[in-house]
Amino acid sequence: QLEKVEKYVDHIFSLNPDLMHFLPKEKTTFLPYTIAGWNEIRYKKYEIKDKIKIVHSPTNRGFKGTSYILKALSNLQKKYSNIEIQIIEKVSYQEALSLYKKANIIIDQVLAGWYGAFGVEVMKMGKPLGVFIREEDLRFVPKDMAKDVLDSVININPFNIEDELSKYLDNIDLLYKKSQASVDYVNKWHNPLNVAKIVQNIYES
């Protein structure tokens, strides 16, 4: 299918770095996600109260690796009395956004190796994001972005969710640092004006 399409296009933008293993190098550019409601989603001061609220919102449980995530969260609940788990499914987009605002940690996925618009939204809120970043794919993104993403997210996979999250549950200061790093990262790399500039430069070249 890619070979068929390639004949008819001048350029290809890839929103996920893993796709670039299969796309023609000479006419493909990695393009960061951005979101339509950029200006509506605002950062509110990150704060942890009595409980650390961990949220997982799977659009597709199989794709997100939800079974691994739920098992790890169940184990963590047995070890920590100060955490609260919430699974968000089958609610409206606006209701989901309001629930994300109350979270202290948001878990995205542990299989795909990157994040999408959902990740951009919650990072813009300043929520520490647990997500699997496949490090071998980072050669397809700008070097500074590759470094920044690893500094900004909680990089988890099916086999280390419990251990990685424990580091943050044992040291709450790390969550506050991830919150600020998330906001800085998303404003730097996912701002619609910056993303549009990448596209503009390709069109004008």
pLDDT for residue 19: 93
Q: Cβ contacts of residue 169 below 8 Å, gap of 6+? A: 52, 76, 80, 82, 83
Burial of 75 (C-beta count, 10 Å sphere; 0-12/13-18/19+): middle
Catalogue the E-assigned strands of 46-182.
Answer: 52-56, 83-87, 105-107, 129-131, 154-155
Buried b (16+ CB within 10 A) or exposed e, 141-160: beeebbebbeebbbbbbeee
pLDDT for residue 48: 96
For 26-44, what is each residue's pLDDT tens digit? Answer: 999 999 999 989 999 999 9
- Decide if 102 contacts 71 (C-beta within 8 A): no
Buried b (16+ CB within 10 A) or exposed e, 30-66: bbbbbbeebeebebeebeeeeebbbbbbbeeeeebbb
pLDDT for residue 5: 85
pLDDT for residue 205: 84
pTM (predicted TM-score): 0.94
pLDDT for residue 9: 93
Burial of 121 (C-beta count, 10 Å sphere; 0-12/13-18/19+): buried
> Residue 126: how many CB atoms within 10 A of its CB?
22
Q: How far apart are CA 194 and CA 74, in angstroms?
A: 40
Burial of 78 (C-beta count, 10 Å sphere; 0-12/13-18/19+): exposed
For 161-198, what is each residue's pLDDT tens digit? Answer: 999 999 999 999 999 999 999 999 999 999 999 999 99
Nearest-CA neighbor of 69 among 55, 53, 83, 52?
55
The stretch 109-123 carries a mean pLDDT of 97
For 76-101, what is each residue's pLDDT tens digit? Answer: 999 999 999 999 999 999 999 999 99
pLDDT for residue 3: 80
